[in-house]
A and B are shown apart, each in its own frame.
Chain A
Amino acid sequence: MTDKDKKIKTEFIASLVRLYGKDRSSLLPVLQEFQKKFRYIDEYSQQEIADALSIHPVEVNSIISFYAFLYDKPRGKHTIRICKNIVCKFHGNKELSKFMEKKVSEFNKDKSEESKITIEYVNCIGLCDRSPSMLVDEKVYEKINPHNAEAILEELS
């Protein structure tokens, strides 16, 4: 990471702490907002967030490791979260997963780490009445089949 990148991150963290308050209870919103911008929370930034909130960096790491939607490893541009609850599984999730894995691996070919798509399997996302369902970043998609999944993927590229 260049000094310039570090400076940008430190300043962004400072602005978040100003917004949410220098308080332990601001930790999750700060991490969430940081991740929204930089996709994951690197070691340098964990230290900076810890300093800005006057807590130990290991506390910051502990929080990131506890919550499924916080990451300390680099991630691609988009995250597809496919629901793996039994209702979705019984209503087309298996076919959907197979299709998405194939399409996404084609998509990711020859792409830099930064522009790749990540697929994750997550617990119930509350769309069982419209299964199979998935989240693409912060958008919800319901009743997905290979046909509309193709269109969703095209939107991402």
Chain B
Amino acid sequence: MVEANDVTLEVEDLHTRIGVKGGEVRGVDGVSFVIRAREVFGIAGESGSGKSMTAFSIMRLLPLQGRIAGGRVRFKGEDITGASDQRMQDLRGDRIAMIFQDPMTSLNPVFTIGDQLSEPLRQHAGLNEAQAREKAIELLTRVGINDPAKRCNSYPHEFSGGMRQRVMIAMALACSPDLLIADEPTTALDVTIEKQILSLIEELRAGIGAAILLITHNLALLAEHCDRIAVMYAGQIVETASTDELLSNPLHPYTKALLGSMPRAHISKGRLKPITGLPPVITGERKGCAFAPRCPAKMASCETVEPAIREINAGHEVRCLLFEDRA
């Protein structure tokens, strides 16, 4: 059993609905997971599987059409699902920080990098202008920007994509948060920069001891950097396990299919296996398993019986009828 004070984030049966024409999409449908202090927890899934919605639900930054329909989010023991807007503002950027997908548009074009870095420090840490500036320069040095004192006066358009993402990381880490949510932090960057950015995140995690929630569609990336991984499909977590366990012993057919569609250097023979079809968008009631139409191991009952999540081995949970009898 995990010690309560060791848990940074606990998400319990989270439901998020997104209003669309003629109904509500089950964006996040009963997601539960726990992130311990200093842990890197990864969420994998296709576009539209609800991984970003999970992140935005935790931050309470859902789009106007979205709402949290049920469940609990506990941050260091504090229930923040019902917290006041003011409390959330105090937490965001200070205790919980977030990095976004597209660094090209995540910075305010009209202010200098130094100004933007100082902003959260002045708001949350109560530093004055000179102190904040000094800290900003220090942060830029830490994320590996050359000549930080001079670059402080640059505007975002004078920075490359990789440098902007470094600035975003510096801003997110300004107040040494307990939890860093990285939503596809390298999708918009090229592969060499991706490597640098992720090692930077890991390096900084060691420095400030934050837990990290890493969200991406790139399983290889998760395999390299995460302690544990959850695989999401159609708003639900279908499998959670430690990285080693998930890679060596994937149980859910979807996880297997994802791994099978991933190119690997040491397997030279054979073609990659694509997953045919598209993930569904679930609006009404769930009927059976959401993956059933695309599943290679489909049984008759998959169409009608909704699988529940079960713990198969220690810390290895799966949502599939194939394993229902074993539990």
Q: A and B: real partners?
A: no
B residues with CB within 8 A of A: none
